[in-house]
Structure 1
Amino acid sequence: MPDTLIQTRGPQAAKPWLQSYPPGMPAEITPLPHNSIGELFAEACATYATRPAFTCMGKTLTFAELEAESKKIGAWLQSTGLAKGDRVAVMMPNILQNPVIVYGILRAGFAVVNVNPLYTPRELEHQLKDAGAKAIFVLENFAHTVEQVAARTDLKHIVVATMGDLLGLKGLIVNIVVRKVKKLVPEWSLPGHLSFKAVLAKGNNALLNKVDVKPGDVAFLQYTGGTTGVSKGATLTHANLLANMAQMGLWLETAFLNKKRPDHLVFLCALPLYHIFALTVNSLMGLKTGGQNILIPNPRDIPAFVKELAKYKVNIFPGLNTLFNALMNNAEFQKLDFSDLALTFGGGMAVQRPVAERWETMTGCPIKEGYGLSETSPVATANRLDAAEFTGTIGLPLPSTEVEIRDDDGNTLPLGEIGEICIRGPQVMAGYWQRPNETASAISPDGFFRTGDIGFMNAQGLVKIVDRKKDMILVSGFNVFPNEIEEVAMTLAGILECAAIGVPDEHSGEAVKLFVVKKDPNLTEADVKAHCSANLTNYKRPKFVEFRTELPKSNVGKILRKDLRG
């Protein structure tokens, strides 16, 4: 445990973190100047019209172009007869179409449902049905998944984009490579769908009507396991996200207390925009600051990623421990010029000290960890961005954010005592979409969100996570719930019973391990893995399968995962 975390136990002082704030940091954010993200978007696009907003595969959209293209999307959506507040799904990787669509949806008064493009049909069907999505925008690479479930959902409009749609003439070549050379587009058929370009053309001839979007209206349904294994939508309002932008805006400026602030910030966006971390820290913060986001469609292709990175003077680099580690093992990355890098922000999973130390040695820029969840829009705590050292903690609560450590009965514990990390602030979600019981169990009567993470706060107000209350497995920053893995596995006829746990993994932090008791003696590890691959997206699939003759159980017959963890 770092020296900074050694403290005497004592009563929890009122907001002890405030004494540790950077100079000039207010305790509270000021009233929000906008009612909606659409209002902020309009102001940003007018203010920064000629600046680059998003860049992908060598093509850049300025803020003015982003405004014009998103207006077409919003106008078309309104012309379809959808009602204010209707949910529209977006199933896209990090390409220019993503922000164009997302901001078009928000401007038109609808709510965005972010979908992981790698979802299996089972996962996609659950999310679309649960959200009641009326329309979906999907990249053609994943249209075959939509095809398998569309008839069983409320979808009325399906829009299919191609990789090259916004890349001009280069887009034709990109599409040929994607389809013919790399063969990344499985056969699909969606009768009645529209192409993305057709929608832009139709939207160009339609009007975008002004919609009275209020702060409490839903902006995003951000799907998460929450505190149990059923994937459900964290209901994030415009006010939630605007508050988190205001909080991060104040915190971000401290990154430049010791380093000159560039006139125009360049963000690297390698994390997926459908994930809350990149959605807020990259896309929304880029909008707020007039910054440029460099979109990386496939960060797993490290050589191509590094080649792209070399072209830009990146100032802000949000990432995960696994990504930092993978990059540092690339010889070309080690040769890059990092003199413009002002902030490396780690989140999604714990940043390991050896990785942080190596990163600082290689880039000259220490990693600053933050913490949050889909339910907190996401950032709740962060380390000081002007500090030189890596603390190994998740930092201090942001302005207008309160963190308490509570016991199982909801009592606030003294400083230094270990309990559940609970968060209250304007960025905490309105609740889980159409799940009042789940909401009531997750948010206490006094408004604190129970995170399920176990930790303590020291005398300086720094928070340290030591364990997880729930059985959740954290794979490369994504929540994986054993219940879901086990339910899927049990649909395989040869399995009598099973249990999933997380095991340490040097690449992804944790990996899924499945213990299986056979019903069919001929069942193989390959059978189990193939079944899981067909029903679970890649990060949820068991990396290890171990067969047992029996599983440990409590006296009432409940399988004891903790005994399997050893």
Structure 2
Amino acid sequence: MDTIPAAVEDAARRFGDAEALVDGPVRMSWRELRDQVSGAAAAFVEGGVLAGDRVAICAPNTHHWVLTALGALSAGATLVPVNTRFTAVETADLLDRTSAKALVVADDFLGRDRLAELRDGGHRVPGFVLPVSPGEPWRALPTSTVDVEVDPDDVSDILFTAGTTGRSKGAMSAHRQALDVARAWAERGEVTADDRYLVINPFFHSFGYKAGILVCLLTGATIVPQAVYDAAAATRLVHDERITVMPGAPTIFQTMLDLPDVDLRSLRLAVTGAAVVPVALVERMQEAFGTVLTAYGMTEAVVATMCTPGDDADTVATTCGGPAAGFELRIGEQDEILLRGPNVMLGYLDDPEATGRAVDADGWLHTGDVGRVDERGYLTITDRLKDMYICGGFNVYPAEVEQALARMPGVADSAVVGVADERLGEVGKAFVVRREPGLSTEDVRAYCKGVLANYKVPRQVEFIDVLPRNASGKVLKFQLRER
């Protein structure tokens, strides 16, 4: 069982009539899920999708995403998750670079019609489009059998992650790798068919997709997605659906615990990361429910290290645990964290040079993060070599924002850094050198909102006469951060 389609069949056989998926009024068993996935696979094949073609999905966390994603994979296609916060320009870039043959797209989500935005902007739209309505149940498709052979080493997905050059890179993984990291995550969290898993992390992230959907597929845990995070609604879901497992960024747990009369007693496991986790918050979480774990990973490796049940609050808050999913861990030059193992990505899509920079000749993935390893083999992240910062759990790469600003009329130069924010962890601050004296903060933010996802838009703007640079011309961002 080293392919995702085989895992779907295995789940139907092992867990049968147990509840597989709960999304509002939609409830289905593992057998029903398998049947709907088979119908979706047949729809893709009838729409002209062949083995190895790319299928893009731009939709929120609902049952539609689960069924169409697993359906595309069962048709032998490669999955291309698209961030629902992306603008039409950003979405079109991914569709073009992957030569997507099909697009699953939410027809109305958060007040936006993404398909209309693509067409109105004159962008290429794949030949087969499958619109889904997040507020409506998935239209049942006739159960069909698709006879497509899928190999464990076939590319299962291409997940895009921004790089320091400012252009996103598509990290490719094989079916066996996607399942291996999900299996490792499930083992560390001791996830079983008795669990009910609230998936708040977006499905377009590896956390929501691989550490969410695939973990449930392997263990029989019930998938309970939340399309848009809302603390009160999430708390009600935990209570009403007897949720036992809930990962998320630290801010998610903070906002839920701050609600009056919160009842999270059904939870037995919370997994967090993607930002600094205060020891006091971990202690508060442990007091409110049960086990709290932290983990470290990235799109290129998904789950590299993870704590184990029983680790104390200080360990959970200050480390990311020890190696998982077959990874080797060592500290390289400049204390950079290096990872090696069978689950390092296959490479970046159509970018051998970037792949070579990321993975050296000995197979070590250079993460760009700085850290140390203690006597137990537990990893602590101390800094980042790259300029990336984390806003509300989302990675933001300043170079991408800076490239957008470089195309803005009135901007002569810019540099973006992450600054502390009580609610989101970090937010972007843009230092802008004006070309036109009348340029305002509102102008800069409005322009960015038109070309960038909202979490990438700088929350603060400061106008300066000149950016500090060293002799080679590199911007001295540490000086900007000190301001």
TM-score category, normalised to shorter length:
over 0.9
Structure 1 position 312 matched with structure 2 position 241: yes
Q: Is the 8 A contact 1:105 1:111 kept in 2?
A: yes
Give the corresponding residue for 1:243: 180
Give distance in 2, aligned partners of 1:465 and 1:210: 46
Give the corresponding residue for 1:368: 293
Give distance in 2, aligned partners of 1:68 and 1:354: 46
Which residue type is aligned with residue 117 of structure 2?
Answer: Q
**Structure 1 residues 548 and 291: alpha-carbon distance in aligned structure 2, compared to 1, 3 A threshold:** same
Q: Report the TM-score, using the length of structure 1 for normalisation.
A: 0.81
- Per-residue CA shift, 1:204-253, capped at 9, x if unaligned? 28x43222211111111111014542111110110111211232233233
Q: Is the 8 A contact 2:162 2:400 kept in 1?
A: no
Give distance in 2, aligned partners of 1:310 and 1:35: 35
Give the corresponding residue for 2:254: 325
Give the corresponding residue for 2:208: 278
Give the corresponding residue for 1:407: 333
Give distance in 1, aligned partners of 2:286 and 2:50: 50
Structure 1 position 386 matched with structure 2 position 310: yes
Aligned with residue 75 of structure 1, among 28, 42, 45: 42
Q: CA deviation at 1:550?
A: 1.4
- Per-residue CA shift, 1:253-311, capped at 9, x if unaligned? 3x8xxxxxx76111111111111111122211111111102111111x22222222220
Q: CA deviation at 1:386?
A: 2.8
Q: Is the 8 A contact 2:193 2:222 kept in 1?
A: no
Give the corresponding residue for 1:153: 124
Give the corresponding residue for 1:59: 26
Q: Is the 8 A contact 1:315 1:343 kept in 2?
A: yes
**Structure 1 residues 390 and 58: alpha-carbon distance in aligned structure 2, compared to 1, 3 A threshold:** farther
**Structure 1 residues 487 and 371: alpha-carbon distance in aligned structure 2, compared to 1, 3 A threshold:** same
Give distance in 1, aligned partners of 2:18 and 2:411: 57
Aligned with residue 358 of structure 1, among 265, 284, 303: 284
Q: Pick the structure with greater CA Rg.
A: 1
Give the corresponding residue for 2:226: 296
- Structure 2 runs not aligned, ≥5 long: none
Which residue type is aligned with residue 109 of structure 1?
Answer: G
Q: CA deviation at 1:382?
A: 0.6
Q: Is the 8 A contact 1:298 1:305 kept in 2?
A: no
The number of aligned residues is: 476
Give distance in 2, aligned partners of 1:453 and 1:483: 17
The structure, 1 or 2, with the larger RCO (C-alpha pairs under 8 Å, 6+ apart) is 1
Q: Is the 8 A contact 1:357 1:366 kept in 2?
A: no
Q: CA deviation at 1:100?
A: 0.5
Q: Is the 8 A contact 2:58 2:103 kept in 1?
A: yes
Q: Is the 8 A contact 2:414 2:432 kept in 1?
A: yes
Counterparts in 2 of 1:58-207, with a 5 A limit?
Answer: 58-141=25-108, 144-150=113-119, 151-153=122-124, 155-166=126-137, 197=139, 201=141, 204=142, 207=144
- Per-residue CA shift, 1:448-498, capped at 9, x if unaligned? 111110001111111111000011111122211111111111222111111
Aligned to 2:314, what secondary structure does the other structure show? coil
Q: CA deviation at 1:337?
A: 4.6
Aligned with residue 148 of structure 2, among 188, 211, 219: 211
Q: Is the 8 A contact 2:304 2:325 kept in 1?
A: no
Aligned to 1:314, what secondary structure does the other structure show? coil
- Structure 1 runs not aligned, ≥5 long: 1-33, 167-195, 256-261, 409-418
Give the corresponding residue for 2:171: 234
Which residue type is aligned with residue 93 of structure 1?
Answer: P
Which stretch shifts more, 301-310 or 139-148? 139-148
Q: Report the TM-score, using the length of structure 2 for normalisation.
A: 0.94
Q: CA deviation at 1:351?
A: 1.8
Give distance in 2, aligned partners of 1:307 and 1:112: 32
Give the corresponding residue for 2:275: 349
Give the corresponding residue for 1:22: none
Q: Is the 8 A contact 1:54 1:96 kept in 2?
A: yes
Q: Is the 8 A contact 2:275 2:390 kept in 1?
A: yes
Q: Is the 8 A contact 2:52 2:77 kept in 1?
A: yes
Aligned to 1:322, what secondary structure does the other structure show? helix
Which residue type is aligned with residue 493 of structure 1?
Answer: P
**Structure 1 residues 337 and 36: alpha-carbon distance in aligned structure 2, compared to 1, 3 A threshold:** closer
Q: Is the 8 A contact 1:36 1:214 kept in 2?
A: yes
Give the corresponding residue for 1:477: 393
Q: CA deviation at 1:154?
A: 5.9
Give the corresponding residue for 2:161: 224
Aligned to 2:313, what secondary structure does the other structure show? coil
**Structure 1 residues 214 and 122: alpha-carbon distance in aligned structure 2, compared to 1, 3 A threshold:** same
Q: Is the 8 A contact 2:330 2:337 kept in 1?
A: yes
Which residue type is aligned with residue 458 of structure 2?
Answer: P
**Structure 1 residues 399 and 86: alpha-carbon distance in aligned structure 2, compared to 1, 3 A threshold:** closer
**Structure 1 residues 337 and 232: alpha-carbon distance in aligned structure 2, compared to 1, 3 A threshold:** closer
Q: Is the 8 A contact 1:227 1:442 kept in 2?
A: no
Q: CA deviation at 1:559?
A: 2.3
Give distance in 1, aligned partners of 2:238 and 2:313: 25
Q: Is the 8 A contact 1:356 1:366 kept in 2?
A: no
**Structure 1 residues 45 and 274: alpha-carbon distance in aligned structure 2, compared to 1, 3 A threshold:** same
Structure 1 position 422 matched with structure 2 position 338: yes
Give distance in 1, aligned partners of 2:250 and 2:87: 26
Which stretch shifts more, 495-504 or 243-252? 243-252
Aligned with residue 543 of structure 1, among 459, 467, 470: 459
Give distance in 1, aligned partners of 2:271 and 2:117: 38
Aligned to 1:488, what secondary structure does the other structure show? helix
Q: Which runs of 4+ in 1 moved over 4 A?
A: none
Aligned to 1:374, what secondary structure does the other structure show? coil
Give distance in 2, aligned partners of 1:366 and 1:209: 41
Q: Is the 8 A contact 2:106 2:113 kept in 1?
A: no
Give distance in 2, aligned partners of 1:403 and 1:79: 45
Which stretch shifts more, 345-354 or 445-454? 345-354
- Report % sequence identity: 30
